[in-house]
Amino acid sequence: MGRKIFVSYKYADEQVHTLPDRTETTTARHYVDLLQEILGKEDHINKGEDDGLDLSDFKEETIEAALRDKIYDSTMTIVMISKGMRNASVPENDQWIPWEISYSLREQKRGDRTKTPNALLAIVLPDEKGSFDYYIADQFCPSCKCRTLRTPTLFKILSKNMFNVKSPSYNDCDQHTASSRVYTGDSSYIYSVKWTDFEAKPAHYIDKAYGIHKKIDDFNIVKAV
C-alpha cells in the first residue's frame, strides 16, 4: 500500500551539487524529482508550495487554506535540507517551509476523523562542492567518532524538533563537556540523513521515520512557527 508523502523544500535553491547529465542549473527541485523516482509509483508525492510567492502580506488563515488539504491527506513529511533553504534576511513566518513543517506537526479534525501529526524525515542535500559539512559533521570527536548536526543553520521549528527527546541518554565519551554530551538512540523527532545514504537505502530511512513517529509521545514537539 502506497504512502502519501508531502515534500517541503526550497524550490529554487541553487546551492546544491550539480546533478549529472543536466544542461540547466541544478536546483533543489531537481532532487525532489529524483526523490519521486526513488520512491516509486506506489508512493504519492505532494510537493510543497513554490517559494517564489511572497507571504509577507498573507494572513495565517490564507496560508492554512493553501496547505491544509495537501498535508491533511499525507502521513509523512520529507523536508529537503539545502544550504540556501533559509533566507536569514526574511522573517521565518514569511517563508513557506516553517509553515509546512508546522502544519505537518498539527492535529487536524474533519468530521469524525482526527489526523495525527505526520512522521518527519530530513534529507540533507549536498552543497555546490558535494559536501554535507554545512549541516552534518561526521566523526566530529576523534575519540567517539560522533556525528554533529549544525542545527542553528536551520529554521527554528526544525531545530527545536531535533534533540527534543524527553528522557535523553548520552554516551560516556570523556572528551565532551556536560553541555556538549553526545546523545544516543533516537534523540530527535526529525531524523536527518544524507541524500547519498537515503539514495542507497530509501525504505530503511522511510521506515526509520515512521518508527520514530510511533513514539511521538516521547518527544517535546514544537508546532509553532
Per-residue pLDDT of 58-87, as tens digits, reads 777 777 777 777 888 899 999 999 999 999
The lowest-confidence range among 21-35, 38-52, 183-197 is: 38-52
pLDDT of residue 32: 92
pTM score of the predicted model = 0.89
115-124: average pLDDT = 95
pLDDT of residue 43: 76
Is the distance from CB of 45 to CB of 35 less than 8 angstroms? yes
18/171 Cα distance (integer angstroms): 37
Kindly report the average pLDDT of the chain as a whole number: 87
Per-residue pLDDT for 224 more than 90?
yes
9-28: average pLDDT = 91
Is the distance from CB of 63 to CB of 23 less than 8 angstroms? no
Give me 128's grid cell: 555546490
Per-residue pLDDT for 108 more than 90?
no
pLDDT of residue 177: 63
pLDDT of residue 139: 63
How many other C-beta atoms are found inside a 10 Å radius of the C-beta of residue 7? Answer: 22
Phi, psi of 43 (to 5 degrees): -100, 130
pLDDT of residue 70: 81
Q: How far is CA 180 from CA 83, 94, 175, 176, in A?
A: 24, 32, 9, 6
Helices 96-104, 60-72: axis angle to 10 degrees equals 50
Closest CA to 206 of 82, 120, 126: 120
